[in-house]
Amino acid sequence: MKTAALIVAAGQGLRTGGSVPKQFAWLAGKPMLAHSYAALASHPAVDAVLVVIGPGQEDALRLALGDVPFAIGGASRRESVRNGLEKLAGAERVLIHDAARPFLSHAVIDALLAALETHQGALPALPVADTLARGGEALGETVPRDGLIRVQTPQAFRTAALRDAHDAWPGDREATDDAQMVRALGHAIALVPGDSALEKITHPADFAAAEARHAAAMRVRTAQGYDVHRFAEGEELWLGGVPVPHSKGLSGHSDADVVLHAITDALLGTIAAGDIGLHFPPSDPQWRGQRSARFLEHAAGLIAGQGGIIDFIDVTIICEAPRIGPHREAIRASIAAILCISESQVSVKATTTERLGFTGRGEGMAAQAIATVRVPADNA
Ligand SMILES: Nc1ccn([C@@H]2O[C@H](COP(=O)(O)OP(=O)(O)OP(=O)(O)O)[C@@H](O)[C@H]2O)c(=O)n1
Ligand SMILES: C[C@](O)(CO)[C@H](O)COP(=O)(O)O
């Protein structure tokens, strides 16, 4: 069943303040929006992710995520969801998520999609721990909290039910989320366990608190990867996802992109997930001629799925020829785009071996990579 995700990021972040709307402000190593985008885009059941931004936010989106599909939102969250839905085609299930809730795990997405087997809608909810009361200048009446919950996103729906709910909702009334609109049509909405990591960034202090909570909950992991491929006549040369003109290419089961293979192994190493051969066995014909970007996306997806963050990639390409300098920036940009990180988080270096050894004799190329990531302490 086709599943789409829609991230609403068209707000102005007025309550948070700041020089840019909060979804584009940096949090835990990257623009806030990039966290939930990575978690959704890497989930194996999510086929497409659409970001809804405000008018004039196109450049900010490109800086945060590169060229990704987007829609232009409206004056309220409800209108932004509606505009996004108009651009979604062919998905039977849809996840609606606030960009303002950056730390989304695959476990929450799994629970929501499972609940859609029996319900038209599902959402993550947390119990209320504080006493609730009406406020003002002085304490007002205390409100019974029994049976109250705190509603989070993503909220998952059968797309047809959500479209019906938006069509039926009166245009002169606001709804603070989508589930109440689907419920208003008479559908029961399933509740799955919420996650304290999903707290919404709303007020100025939430930024520092989220940064501190996140830092305290994360551990730095560093791992290295190394790969070698043989030169062969008649092959294309792919380095870092970029075709590089050369008299020979590298041979291998896939496209033999030695750079992406080394980075893939380094990333898998950071979560002790084995190596590239374990995930994509050379004996399996389905990987023949495969683009190596697919392998790297898979490794990055495993890290994002654990709630991890890629901080930095440093790769060294070892060969006598071709010269890497003219292609360095294209390779950096390509690696950054595949990993949904910024180019400033990718370093590409090259060296020869002074004509010594197999690289010196031009028989093949090697690459070594070091990846630095942060993973939640409970996974570390
Ligand atoms: N017209 C709007 C308003 C909100 N949102 C999105 O809805 C989510 C939840 O909204 P909120 O936290 O209220 O964000 P803002 O509207 O930006 O905040 P504020 O009310 O402080 O301006 C955010 O990801 C926000 O970008 C949206 O897409 N379109
Ligand atoms: C959708 C939501 O995040 C669920 O809790 C919340 O209602 C958004 O409210 P906001 O006023 O737009 O921040």
- Rounded to two decimals, the ipTM of the complex is 0.93
Same domain for 195 and 240, yes or no, is no
43 and 147 both lie in a single domain: yes
End-to-end CA distance of the chain: 34
Residue nearest to atom 4 of ligand 2 (CA): 152
Q: Identify whether residues 182 and 228 lie together within a single domain.
A: no
pLDDT tens-digit map of 80-97: 999 999 999 899 999 999
Residue 209 belongs to a domain:
no
Ligand 2 touching residue 97 (CB < 6 A): no
Q: Are 303 and 271 in contact (CB under 8 A)?
A: yes
**Any domain includes 162:** yes
Please work out whether the CB of residue 25 comes within 6 Å of at least one atom of ligand 1.
no
Let me know whether 94 and 150 are in one domain: yes
- Cβ neighbours around 285 below 10 Å, total: 8
Q: Write the pLDDT tens digit of every residue in 8-41.
A: 999 999 999 888 999 999 998 889 999 999 999 9
What pLDDT, on the 0 to 100 scale, is given for residue 220?
95
277 and 129 in one domain? no
Question: Ligand 1 mean position to 338 CA, how many Å?
Answer: 28
Domain boundary among 202, 231, 266: 202
Half-sphere exposure of 163 (CA within 13 A, CB side): 14
For 366, half-sphere exposure in the C-beta direction (CA atoms, 13 angstrom radius) is 12
Domain range for 312: 219-379
The domain that contains 156 carries what CATH number? 3.90.550.10
Q: In terms of domains, do 261 and 299 share one? A: yes
Is residue 272 domain-shared with residue 176, that is, in the same domain?
no
The 10s digit of each residue's pLDDT in 132-178 is 999 999 999 999 999 999 999 999 999 999 999 999 999 889 999 99
Shared domain check, 144 and 62: yes
CA dist., res. 285 & res. 336, Å (int): 28
- Point out the ligand 1 atom lying closest to the alpha carbon of residue 202: 12
Two structure tokens written together for 325: 């300098």
Query: Would you list which residues are annotated within the binding site for a divalent metal cation?
Result: 227, 229, 261
Is 223 in the same domain as 198? Answer: no
Bind-site residues: 227-229, 253-254, 261, 275-277, 351-354, 358, 361
Q: Does the CB atom of residue 83 touch ligand 1 within 6 A?
A: no
Give the residue from 172, 202, 232 where a domain finishes.
202
The contacts found for 280-288 with CB under 8 angstroms, 24 or more apart, are 280/254, 282/253, 287/253, 287/254, 288/253, 288/254
For the chain, give percent helix, strand, coil, nearest 5.
Answer: 35, 25, 40
Number of domains in the chain: 2
- The answer, yes or no, to whether any atom of ligand 1 lies below 6 A from the CB of 153, is no
Which ligand 2 atom is at minimum distance from the Cα of 200?
Answer: 3
